[in-house]
Structures are given as C-alpha cells and as structure tokens.
Structure 1
Amino acid sequence: MNTNRNASVVPARAAWSSVIREGETLTITDLHGNQAVDFLAYDAHDTAVRYSAPDTIHAQGGIFLTTGSVLLSNEHTALMTVTEDEVGRHDTVGGACSKESNTLRYGHHTWSQHACVDNFLAEGARYGLGKRDLVSNINWYMNVPVEQNGTLGIVDGISAPGLRLTLRADRDVLVLVSNCPQINNPCNGFDPTAVRMTITGAAG
C-alpha cells in the first residue's frame, strides 16, 4: 500500500530539498500553472554521483523529458525515472537563472533579483554542497523550444493548474529544487507561483 510520508507546498521563489528513498516517488504539482521548477538530483550517499544532462540526453536520444525518461548520473546509472507526466515535455538545456545571467540578458538593474542559483547554493549548503557541485539542471514545466537554426527560446509554458509529474527513486537520492523566481521572461508567466511536493512511500 502506498502512503504519503511528506507533502509540502513550496512558496513562489523558494527552495526545497529532501532525500527520496529507493522505491519512493516524488510528485510535483504545478498548482497555478506555468511555473518552472528547477531540479537537481544526487546519490544521497555519495553526492559526487549526480544528475548528468549529457548522459541523460544521449541515452534517451532527445532533449525533452516525459513519461519513461530515466535521469542518469555522471556514472551513467539511474537516479530517478519519470513514471507519470500530465504535461508531456520538460526542459534539460535551459539551465538555472543567476544574477550573472540575468544581468547579461536583461540589464544591470536585475542584479539584486533572487535567482535559482541562489536557491541551489543555500539549500545545497545544508548538505555540504557548494558552487562546484552545481551542474546543468532540469527545468520541469519550462518550455524551451529549439528553432531550426539551433536557437533556444524561453516561451510561455505548456502546463496548466493542477498538472503533475511523478518520479520514482531508483536509489536513495537527494533532490534540490528551486521554485524559479524569474520575472524577466515568460517561464513563470512573469508571476512566480507555488508548487506542491508529495513524497509517497514505496509499494509494500
């Protein structure tokens, strides 16, 4: 029988983290729609083993994640698997916003704005992680199309209020989340909102 051992609402712009034990699932619910959720995963017992975008993209033969996608580590081993996805496509290449990238893209007046890298650093510090431990992240719900000339876009999301995705932990994993605070492009509809994280125990 599956049981929820933890459910929490992550406020707009906030960070969240948890260890998801092997066999448990993590469900991310986009409560209000069009909210990007930046995401990193590490082996909970050896954080040098962490999510690898190149390994994941190469193994599945595409840059978008959906049901059946396996998040691979830098050792090409499974960390988590997407078991349910009500949206259909999630980004692996758009990266996390930072004070530096905001300044470059949108102007020096954005320097003081909170960013996903700030969230990752603050939350990761609780587990002894620092800047060198940050890698290319997943952006759940974020819509980053690739044009024919290779240009990436960040455009209006394809999610809607209440849509969910669920990941199964294929080993004990540490998950870091930044509920993206970006207000300079459409990834959050220019209005960051809350999401819900629900951890469900393994089937017994």
Structure 2
Amino acid sequence: MHIKRSPEEIAANRARYEEHQKKGLEFAPKALPGKSPMPAPEIAADTILHREIIPGGWYWWTRVKTNETLRISLDQGFSTLALVAWNAADTSERLNLPDTVKLQWTTGLGKGRVIFSDMGKVMFSIVEDSSGAHDCLMGGSTEASNTAKYGDIITRNARDNFVIAATKLGLDKRDLPAALSLFAPVRVDADGKFFWNPALLSGADYIELRAEMDMIVAFSNCPHPLDPSPSYAPNPVTVTRLKAETPAADDLCRTATAEAVRGFENNAFAQA
C-alpha cells in the first residue's frame, strides 16, 4: 500500500536524516583521497595470480583469498561490469549494498571506502579507483530492461548471467544479492530521478578491490540499463587477481571512517 506523505513530513524526515548524516561524517577520523591517477600503473608480473578477460555479454566467477586484490580495468574501451559476492565459508553471507550506503552515508563509492556484507562485516576495501563512477542503487540489466532498450534482438543480461553463475556454484537465484555495477556513472538529480553522468568517466578507468575475507565473486559484463548507447556492444573487461599483501596498521580503508573501523572489528571477531 502506498502511503502519501505531506511535504512537511518529508521535510522533517530529510532534516532528521541530514542531522544523522552530519554526525556520522563529522566522526570520520580521516579525509578520503581523490581519484587514483591515470593511466593505471603497471602490475609486477610476479604478483599476478590470474588474469581473465571477460568478453562483452558474458560472465565469470572466481574465488579470492583474504588480502588478495582484484584489479578491474577497462583496457579495451568502455564497459560496465557488475559483480556480486559471497563469503566462501558461508554463502548465506553476501554483498549488501543498502548497508554499504547507509553505514557510510553515501552512494559515492571510491578510494578509501569499503563494501559491507549483510552481517556487518567488510567484504572489500576500495584501495584504488580512477573514476568513482559506480552504481550501488539500480543493480544490473535484466531481460525486460534489455528488451525495452534494444527490442527483440537476443542479448545477454546481468540478472540471467548471475543466475547461471549461482547455479554452477550450487546456489539458487534466491541467493543473489543486489549487484554493484562498476563504471556506471549513475547519479540522482534534485527530483530523485536516476541519470547517467558520463563526465565522471576518464577513459581507460580501473578499480582495485582488496578482499577482506575469503570470497566467491561473480562478474557480468553487460550494458547498464541507463547506458545511453543505442547499441548493445560491451567491450571486454580485464580482471587481474593479485597476490595477498598484509595491509599496514594505518591502512586508509581500515581507519578512514568509524563505520569501517566497526566493520573490521566484526571481521576480527568472526575470525577469532
């Protein structure tokens, strides 16, 4: 049932939210840095565990160990890569974007931010990021969104790709969390509507995600529903898995916000 709220109630709710947000942000111990430099620095060959090039329209999944890093890079032109993740030891624990947004008071994910699970633990730290153009609100494409955009031509979509990946992992579509879409410059305008802001992209963008627990990560390389291109033509995306390195005690992602500090405390408690 839809409940219509008065302008006064909406304004009061917004003021209450902004007050909580202000308190949360003021408690942040460190200022977050800007975007990572372009072009992406070269990766030392002896740190590479695996490199996968995901063709346009396709999916891939991999296991990652704690402190390994995934560099996801647009080496062959623009594409949006969606991802979902599960705790490898207990797949009932999974990526949780609503909590990631609420706990950090922002939908803007970039260097220094973390990505939470649905159990209040940190799954990923964003250790490098050249764009900050990632969508944690809309999720990926579906058969319906592709049909509405491209017509009756046969195209692959993120939802079906993730269902296939989950099935191969012994999971079910009910085990799928909302997907994070990387390199999808989705923002919200003053009227609360989603829009695509290509100015946030730099070209051959990249992001590096450090695993904060052992995980299974699935990717889907399909156009985002808001991608303005009229053609279904996603470019290949490179995913490089790098050897684990123990973070420093003052690691930015572990200390930049009070919420991240609590999340890492939960990680440590679970491992004790």
TM over 0.5: yes
Q: Does 1:41 align with 2:89?
A: no
Q: Does 1:129 align with 2:191?
A: no
Residue of structure 1 equivalent to 2:144: 100
Give per-residue Cα distances to partners, 1:103-134, cap 9 Å, x unaligned: 4x437625x42111111111121211221112
Which residue among 156, 159, 173 is the counterpart of 2:201?
Answer: 159
Q: Does 1:31 align with 2:79?
A: no
Q: Does 1:66 align with 2:91?
A: no
Q: TM-score, normalised by structure 2?
A: 0.68
CA distance in 1, matches of 2:133, 2:146: 25
Q: Which has the higher contact order (CA 8 A, sep 6+)?
A: 1
Identify the range of structure 1 (70-79 vs 156-165) with the bigger mean alpha-carbon deviation. Answer: 156-165
Q: TM-score, normalised by structure 1?
A: 0.89
Residue segments in structure 2 that go unaligned for 5+ positions in a row: 1-43, 247-272
Which residue among 92, 106, 117 is the counterpart of 2:159?
Answer: 117
Identify the range of structure 1 (175-184 vs 40-49) with the bigger mean alpha-carbon deviation. Answer: 175-184
Give per-residue Cα distances to partners, 1:144-172, cap 9 Å, x unaligned: 11110100123547334432110110010
Residue segments in structure 1 that go unaligned for 5+ positions in a row: none
User: Would you say the 8 A contact 1:34–1:159 is kept in 2?
Assistant: no
TM-aligned CA deviation for residue 183 of structure 1: 8.3
Distance 1:108 1:195, change over 3 A: closer
TM-aligned CA deviation for residue 189 of structure 1: 7.5
How many residues of Structure 1 are paired with residues of Structure 2 in the alignment?
Answer: 202
Question: What percent of counterpart residues are identical?
Answer: 28
Distance 1:14 1:157, change over 3 A: farther
Distance 1:185 1:15, change over 3 A: same
Q: If you compute each CA radius of gyration, which structure gives the higher value, 1 or 2? A: 2
- Whose strand proportion is higher, 1 or 2? 1
- Whose helix proportion is higher, 1 or 2? 2
Give per-residue Cα distances to partners, 1:174-203, cap 9 Å, x unaligned: 111001146884279753100101000112
Aligned to 1:95, what secondary structure does the other structure show? coil
Root-mean-square deviation (CA), in Å? 2.4
Q: Counterpart amino acid of 1:125?
A: T
Which residue among 152, 169, 186 is the counterpart of 2:228?
Answer: 186
